[in-house]
Amino acid sequence: MKKVIKQLQTKLAIAFGLFLSGALANSAKADGVAGINAAGSELATYLDPLATLGLGIGACVGLIGGVRVFILWNSGERDINKELMGWFGSCIFLVLVSVVIKAFFV
């Protein structure tokens, strides 16, 4: 009789342990999902200022590059194609990065 009670206690302890571990796993999963959702919503608050900052930097690079190309052109420099393509490419890259950030994360 003592052996049967001992086996029953062991089985109940194992069942209780499994139940407790399942409950903790579900609780951890819910906390993890809530954390990921909170991080996603906080990231979304930074997207608009980040995209606006990218457009502002693109505008500054565009103005500085335009002035550099204008100075080279007025000084009689014949080969300004390399300078012009680098300036134009960087402006397009910065504008597209800000647009892609908005489109990708929103």
| pTM recorded for the entire structure | 0.54
Output the pLDDT for position 25. Answer: 60
User: In which domain, by residue range, is 38 found?
Assistant: 2-105
Report the domain count for the chain.
1
Show the tokens assigned to 73: 């052109």
Distance CA 67, CA 87 (A): 10
Q: Is the pLDDT of residue 70 over 60?
A: yes
For the segment 68-72, the average pLDDT, to the nearest whole number, is 86
